[in-house]
Amino acid sequence: MPHPPFLARWLAVDPSAPGLQIEGEWYTHGQLRALGERVAGWLSFLGVQAGDAVCIQLENGRDLVAAHLGCMALGAVRVPLNAHYRAAEVGPIIEDARPKLVIARDPSIYRGVPVVTAVGEGAPVADWPTPPGDVTCWLFTSGTTGRAKGTPQTYAMWEHNLDGIATRWELASADRLWLCLPLFHTHGLVLGLHGALLRGASAIVSARFDPILPPEGVTHFYGVPTYYRRWLAVMHTHPDAFRALRLLVSGSDGLPAELSDAVYAATGHRVLERYGMTETVMIASNPFAGERRAGTVGTPLDGVDVRIVDGEVQVRGPSVFLGYQPRPDAGAFTEDGFFRTGDAGEFDDKGYLRIVGRKKDLVIVGGVNVSPAEVEVHLAKVPGVAELGCCGLPDVDLNEIVACAVVPDGTVAEPELRAALELAAKDLSGLKRPRRWAFVSSLPRNAMGKLQRARIPGEAFAG
pLDDT digits (tens, 9 = 90+) for 339-353: 999 888 899 999 999
Q: Of the ranges 75-79, 118-122, 127-131, which one carries the lowest mean pLDDT score?
A: 127-131
DSSP SS3 for 315: strand
Fold of 5-187: Rossmann fold (3.40.50)
Q: What is the pLDDT of residues 221-245, one digit of tens each?
A: 999 998 999 999 999 999 999 988 9
209-358 belongs to CATH 3.40.50.12780: yes
pLDDT of residue 159: 96
pTM of the predicted protein model:
0.86
Q: For the residues 114-120, what does the mean pLDDT come to?
A: 98
Q: Of the ranges 322-326, 372-376, 406-410, 436-440, which one carries the lowest mean pLDDT score?
A: 372-376
Q: What angle do the packed helices 225-237 and 257-267 form, to 10 degrees?
A: 30
DSSP SS3 for 224: coil
With bands split at pLDDT 50, 70 and 90, how would you rate the model's confidence at 145? low
CA–CA dist 369, 432 (Å, integer): 9
What residue ranges do the domains of the chain occupy? 5-187, 209-358, 363-460
Q: For the residues 408-412, what does the mean pLDDT come to?
A: 94
With bands split at pLDDT 50, 70 and 90, how would you rate the model's confidence at 253? confident
Residues in the chain: 463
The CATH number assigned to the domain with range 363-460 reads 3.30.300.30
Examine the pLDDT at 447 and tell me if it is beyond 90.
no
CB 346 within 8 A of CB 308: yes
Report the percentage of the chain scoring pLDDT > 70.
Answer: 97
CB 225 within 8 A of CB 248: no
CA–CA dist 433, 390 (Å, integer): 10
5-187 and 209-358: identical CATH topology? yes
